[in-house]
Amino acid sequence: MTKEELIAFEDEIATLFNSGKIRAPVHLYSGNEDQIIDIFRKIRSQDWVFSSWRSHYQCLLKGVPGNLVRDEILAGRSISLCFPEYRIYSSAIVGGVLPIAVGAAMAIQRNGEAARVYCFMGEMTAETGIAHESIKYSRNHRLPIHFIVEDNEKSVCTDTREAWRQPRLSFEDREDEYVSYYRYQTKYPHAGAGVRVQF
Ligand SMILES: Cc1ncc(C[n+]2csc(CCOP(=O)(O)OP(=O)(O)O)c2C)c(N)n1
């Protein structure tokens, strides 16, 4: 899936949402296509991907056909897209997938499987206790997992750095065996596509 294809998919979802065709919240990306495509160069079909409420790019890059992703979003399930047959799970609970991803990595390690786990989270999620514990446990137990922190600088409407009085976030610019970080500027609000839609 190319950058242009990701953007075209997202533009279509934005249009569908703004015209009232999706009767549930959507969370769009925009502006991170190069970085997320680069991360997916390492991710193979046997690997597991865990994401948040914003997971359509991950689904498409993991190989889920666009029409399946679109159908799920149209059915109002954008915030928790799960396609187990493609090994992709997501949860709309802040930090919710992190311990599940760690458990999947523990199972892979115990069974001696060749798969790896990739777990995406926003920069505010990365500041929570559960993220710090999940990353610490994974690192110390050398689990086959990699965490990706996606920094759009905000948590809903809150500036993450101001909230913590921390100009430099905990995983800012981290690039090691267990954690990657990237920053992007989105053109969208936290949820929706810029037009108020009454469900
Ligand atoms: C346990 C829990 N608390 C609060 C929320 C509401 N909520 C949804 S997304 C979000 C912001 C998270 O910010 P960040 O991790 O930076 O993600 P992003 O900006 O990429 O959406 C919040 C507070 C939630 N979904 N789950």
Per domain, the residue ranges of the chain are 3-183
* Helix orientation angle between 129-140 and 97-111, rounded to the nearest 10 degrees: 10
Provide the pLDDT confidence category of residue 26 given band limits of 50, 70 and 90.
very high
> Is 90 exceeded by the pLDDT of residue 97?
yes
Beta sheet of 48-51, edge-to-edge order: 88-90, 48-51, 117-122, 145-151, 179-183
> Is 80 exceeded by the pLDDT of residue 199?
no
Q: Name the β-bridge partners of 138.
A: none
Provide the pLDDT confidence category of residue 196 given band limits of 50, 70 and 90.
confident
pTM beyond 0.85: yes
Binding pocket residue ranges, ligand 1, CB within 6 Å: 53-54, 92-94, 121-125, 150, 152, 154-156, 160, 190
199 vs 49: CA distance, rounded Å: 30
Rounded to 5 degrees, φ, ψ at 108 are -60, -45
Which CATH fold would you assign to the domain 3-183?
Rossmann fold (3.40.50)
Probe residue for ligand 1, chosen from 94, 134, 188 as the CB with the greatest number of ligand atoms within 8 Å: 94
92 vs 78: CA distance, rounded Å: 9
> Is 90 exceeded by the pLDDT of residue 42?
yes
